[in-house]
Amino acid sequence: MKHLKLFTLAVAALAVCLSVSAKPKVRIIATGGTIAGVSATSASSAYTAGQVGIQTLIDAVPQMLFLADVSGEQLVNIGSQDMNDEVWLKLAKRVNVLLNEEGYDAVVITHGTDTMEETAYFLNLTVKSDKPVILAGSMRPSTAISADGPANLYNAVAAAVSPNVKGMGVLCCMNNQLLDAKTVIKTHTIDCDTFEGGPSGIIGYVYNGEAHILQTPNNKHTVNSVFDVTQMDKLPKVGIVYGYANASPLPMQAFVDAKFDGIVLAGVGDGNFYKDVFDVAVKAQNQGIQIVRSSRCPTGPTCLNSEVDDAKYHFVAALDLNPQKARVLLMLALTQTHDWQEIQKFFMEY
Ligand code: DGL
């Protein structure tokens, strides 16, 4: 009888080991955001982001354990309006170690939605692996009626373990949709369906625990990116100036006086700017501060040498990147070169 009990225990232990070892290893890195937010009451829209820890988020979605061997770590616990270069560098380095040195099959990052698109694009250019890296957040706090965070987290893990997601670059998983890092944009201040994929649309969707891919990103990313932050402990300083009728040149002048390395213009229309701002931009470029023209328009490219003679002034046109993503690429481009023509090539490739 004793031997039978020992045999049964051994089989059970083996089953557990096989079941765990058979599942992909997914690491969840938590950074805060509304997904970790707490509201005064479940019906209240008043809440504070970045209050709940990663293990609480994981424990709220036990169904994930059927998909993967899930574990978590807390990098920071902030509202993503406070996301910064220091966290970006820590996050990129940690993702690379998890995927390239610690044997994880995928990384999911919980993140606030306000700057999720910027972090996703930064990681798209700095992660050195073709394994899935997927950001998930929520528009309702964890304590809200019909909180959307648990489903977004479950779907992100489901996508992370889907065989057809490898090599897609960094993705965002929100509201059952998969969006690629270059085109994802937050379009609505409070709606759960806030993220869109720009003119090219979403990359795919997650349904019933499976990822369905509709298209593949055609820009350079991850293992094909030249940008490497492994040895970096700071990033070039790049600011954004908003364009509007009768715009003041003071914000751009302030960046010049503060010796910023680059300035992105969220210009009107096809990246145009008010004459007083234009004059400061030309002086800045001549002082070696790289100017990139983007647009405040939510869709459409900022075209090279169209209404503005970029070749004459050595400006860079952001093409398909909105101002906040043009800033990310310019920061990383300036770690490689200060040549405006080389930087323009990066905007054509990434
Ligand atoms: N504080 C905002 C942030 O962390 C809340 C938005 C959200 O996460 O949905 O991005």
- Which residues, including other chains, have CB under 8 Å from residue 160's CB and lie 6 or more apart? 24, 26, 68, 105, 106, 107, 108, 132, 134
Q: Is the pLDDT of residue 17 over 60?
A: no
pLDDT of residue 258: 98
Which residues form the domain of 31?
Answer: 23-224
User: How many Å apart are CA 105 and CA 99, to the nearest integer?
Assistant: 7
Indicate whether 242 and 206 sit together in one domain.
Answer: no
**51 touches ligand 1 (CB under 6 Å):** no
pTM, 2 dp: 0.93
β-partners of residue 25 are 69
Indicate whether 40 and 105 sit together in one domain.
Answer: yes
Indicate whether 108 and 31 sit together in one domain.
Answer: yes
Boundary of a domain, candidates 191, 224, 257: 224
Q: Whose Cα sits closest to atom 3 in ligand 1? A: 112
**174 touches ligand 1 (CB under 6 Å):** no
Indicate whether 143 and 198 sit together in one domain.
Answer: yes
48 Cα to the center of ligand 1, angstroms = 9
249-287, pLDDT tens digit by residue? 999 999 999 999 999 999 999 999 999 999 999 999 999
Please report how the helices 116-126 and 323-333 are oriented relative to each other, as an axis angle in degrees rounded to 10. Answer: 30
DSSP-derived letter for residue 114 is: T
Q: Is the pLDDT of residue 6 over 80?
A: no
61 Cα to the center of ligand 1, angstroms = 20
Has residue 299 been placed in a domain?
A: yes
Indicate whether 174 and 54 sit together in one domain.
Answer: yes
Q: Where are the alpha helices (DSSP H) in the chain?
A: 2-22, 54-59, 85-100, 116-126, 149-160, 250-257, 275-286, 310-313, 323-333, 340-349
Which residue among 57, 77, 80, 195 is best mutated to probe the pocket of ligand 1, counting the most ligand atoms within 8 A of its Cβ? Answer: 80
Indicate whether 138 and 85 sit together in one domain.
Answer: yes
Has residue 10 been placed in a domain?
A: no
pLDDT of residue 48: 83
Which is it for strands 238-242 and 262-267: parallel, antiparallel or unpaired?
parallel
C-alpha dist (Å) from residue 257 to 135, 251, 292, 315:
36, 10, 18, 19
Has residue 152 been placed in a domain?
A: yes
25 Cα to the center of ligand 1, angstroms = 27
Give all strands (DSSP E) within 81-222, no chain letters: 106-110, 133-136, 171-174, 177-180, 185-186, 195-196, 204-207, 210-213
**39 touches ligand 1 (CB under 6 Å):** no
Our count of domains for the chain comes to 2
Has residue 276 been placed in a domain?
A: yes
